[in-house]
Structure 1
């Protein structure tokens, strides 16, 4: 039995060696490539063909710290497959020296509750973890600043992972954006006690808000004020739009509002009322709105129904048609009923659909009807 196992292992080793040699023969190994990097990538089962195709320049860099990166990730709890994935999608990681990597590890661990969560972040956002040492001071300063705002660590970690550029730039730029947001919130009548929660929601919804100019926010608020929205209504919109308020601009909003008003055939006041119920109309381009209006009207839904439930426009035509068919199969006609059952997220719809089905299956109880008694 032992001889059979030994023979089998020898054959497997020979097959693996042959396979590796074949892969190398097929590859385009340039004399200028760092052979130590190439060898290390093969040993770690990194998709080197993918690296050569997308970021081949990394293989030409000297020095490289492939084994050190792998050792660091393994020490943090990463499996072999995760290490191979990280190096395949972000091979630039091997250009960070061990001292830089250790500094990053300590920096991130000051925010992450454990190394398991940190490995999950590195797997999804490797470029956010393996950054230049030139940014370490800015990262520390920005972390300290966001902590001073009483933002919880989970929000800060999400910002670091999703929008690392916000942490690599000087802290005063982020301070200016936060100051602009807070000032706008207070000027519109927002309560000081609710500002922290509002800011957390805004940042968690759109981590890239810091990459926008504070002037964009001011211009958008001025535009909406000129369209007749009151201070209280602007605060409502700011709360509803959250981080997306910086993704807007006056020109695009003007086109979207003009198209919506022309399509619905309503007054300025009526349009403002609709926007307050569905702020998404501000950032959908007119081409998207045209498709969705057409899809709803083609399904037999009236314009008055759309006005009553404008958030139905947040759903794609495909989703609307799918839900209509499911409701139709249960005998519900959206043309004569409320659109509330059709509206909302997938979870919302399934709950509404379930309640609708339950009502149809449950018999009505008549307290005066005679009871049927078997003889």
Structure 2
């Protein structure tokens, strides 16, 4: 057994001669490579050199089903370039038995609106689709469970694509975490009528929440309660942070809160108010906050402005500096104006910037407008 493993590793480490740039040679680069696989991938315009560099072990395997996998993708509506992209980024797909792939296709079609969208998902998340057949039963059971919750099919599809591990494991794990989330929502005063929508948003925002131990959620809420957050405020944080509340832990939150309070120079009550307006402060490490506070203060922004619009701390220093320079070029002094214009996504900023520019370009005197006569 040890000898065979050593032989396999030696074969994997064989040096590969680079192909001349002006040739499309189909010569065998290693006696261990499956020549049929290499030939089939060449025919599909797959980047063989990239496959050799990153996942060369795939080319050593036999049997492989390159043509069958490509045909299945083609029948689903995938174009040649898309098939080449999928097999270049995830060449392991050619090792999947065609029967296994057909089963996987049927599972995904049960929640995916159509084959065209499924091709798009496979293009972005090939590893989520081409999984072991040993997971099919768990996948089927988890799909049935989430359907029983009346979740939107697109939400279920996103979960399968983004967090495939949650569908590969026994359904009982997901049932426990979902129950814990629903229980927390209800105990904090959430309305039963809104719970399905709330759960869909939470899972859509952070699919990996299902992979966290339920105890983490309870520990974090106990810590925040001890810090003086009321029940309605905890519900607000749970809704604003979505599933990211499970990414936190009491130790990191304790350090972040202490640093923020010392830097801002505020009371615990004032800090809670700032956190409620910018829950992201709970999970940024001290080093990140230090860089962002320093960047804002060095730009001439006061601490009072920051506490009035704390969500500006969600932006990286590079983004803030870029936006400040654009505003400055238009004559907007960020040191005396509102920081709200800095906030939001790139699209949000461009809209705010456009409105600001429009106000500046509007003439103070309109010669067409009628003059007001004296009474």
Task: Give the structure-2-normalised TM-score.
Answer: 0.90
Gapped regions of structure 1 (runs ≥ 5):
1-17
Alignment partner, residue 310 of structure 1: 310
Alignment partner, residue 166 of structure 2: 166
| 1:19 Cα deviation after fit | 8.4
Alignment partner, residue 117 of structure 1: 117
Alignment partner, residue 13 of structure 2: none
Alignment partner, residue 25 of structure 2: 23
Alignment partner, residue 189 of structure 1: 189
Alignment partner, residue 251 of structure 1: 251
Change (3 A) 1:22 1:357: closer
Secondary structure of residue in 2 paired with 1:64 = coil
Q: Confirm whether residue 329 of structure 1 aligns to residue 325 of structure 2.
A: no
Name the stretch that deviates more: 40-49 or 140-149: 40-49
Given that 2:44 and 2:84 are in contact with CA atoms closer than 8 Å, whether structure 1 keeps it comes out as yes
Alignment partner, residue 207 of structure 1: 207
| 1:168 Cα deviation after fit | 0.3
Alignment partner, residue 57 of structure 2: 57
| 1:342 Cα deviation after fit | 2.0
Gapped regions of structure 2 (runs ≥ 5):
1-19
Alignment partner, residue 43 of structure 1: 43
Q: CA–CA distance in 2 between the matches of 1:171 and 1:243?
A: 19
The alignment's C-alpha RMSD in Å is 1.9
Q: CA–CA distance in 1 between the matches of 2:225 and 2:25?
A: 64
**Per-residue displacement from partner, 1:139-194 (whole Å, max 9, x unpaired)?**
01000100111111000001111111110000000000000000111110111111
Given that 2:26 and 2:39 are in contact with CA atoms closer than 8 Å, whether structure 1 keeps it comes out as no
Q: CA–CA distance in 2 between the matches of 1:167 and 1:160?
A: 6
Structure possessing the higher radius of gyration over alpha carbons: 1
Q: Confirm whether residue 78 of structure 1 aligns to residue 78 of structure 2.
A: yes
Alignment partner, residue 293 of structure 1: 293
Alignment partner, residue 260 of structure 1: 260
Q: CA–CA distance in 2 between the matches of 1:239 and 1:60?
A: 49
Secondary structure of residue in 1 paired with 2:25 = helix
Q: CA–CA distance in 2 between the matches of 1:179 and 1:89?
A: 37
Alignment partner, residue 92 of structure 1: 92
Q: CA–CA distance in 1 between the matches of 2:283 and 2:264?
A: 17
Listed as ranges, the matches of 1:275-294 within 5 Å are: 275-294=275-294
Alignment partner, residue 228 of structure 1: 228
Task: Give the structure-1-normalised TM-score.
Answer: 0.90
Listed as ranges, the matches of 1:101-140 within 5 Å are: 101-140=101-140
Given that 2:223 and 2:250 are in contact with CA atoms closer than 8 Å, whether structure 1 keeps it comes out as yes
Q: CA–CA distance in 2 between the matches of 1:81 and 1:363?
A: 53
**Per-residue displacement from partner, 1:299-357 (whole Å, max 9, x unpaired)?**
11111111111011111111111211222222221111211122222222222222222
Secondary structure of residue in 2 paired with 1:341 = helix
Q: CA–CA distance in 2 between the matches of 1:286 and 1:307?
A: 17
Alignment partner, residue 14 of structure 1: none
Given that 2:69 and 2:93 are in contact with CA atoms closer than 8 Å, whether structure 1 keeps it comes out as yes
Q: CA–CA distance in 1 between the matches of 2:51 and 2:311?
A: 45
Given that 2:70 and 2:83 are in contact with CA atoms closer than 8 Å, whether structure 1 keeps it comes out as yes
Secondary structure of residue in 2 paired with 1:336 = coil
Q: CA–CA distance in 2 between the matches of 1:345 and 1:22?
A: 45
**Per-residue displacement from partner, 1:70-100 (whole Å, max 9, x unpaired)?**
1101111111111111111111111111110
**Per-residue displacement from partner, 1:215-245 (whole Å, max 9, x unpaired)?**
1111111111111100000000000000111
Q: CA–CA distance in 2 between the matches of 1:330 and 1:44?
A: 52
Q: CA–CA distance in 2 between the matches of 1:281 and 1:344?
A: 16
Given that 2:188 and 2:232 are in contact with CA atoms closer than 8 Å, whether structure 1 keeps it comes out as yes
Secondary structure of residue in 2 paired with 1:340 = helix
Change (3 A) 1:19 1:325: closer
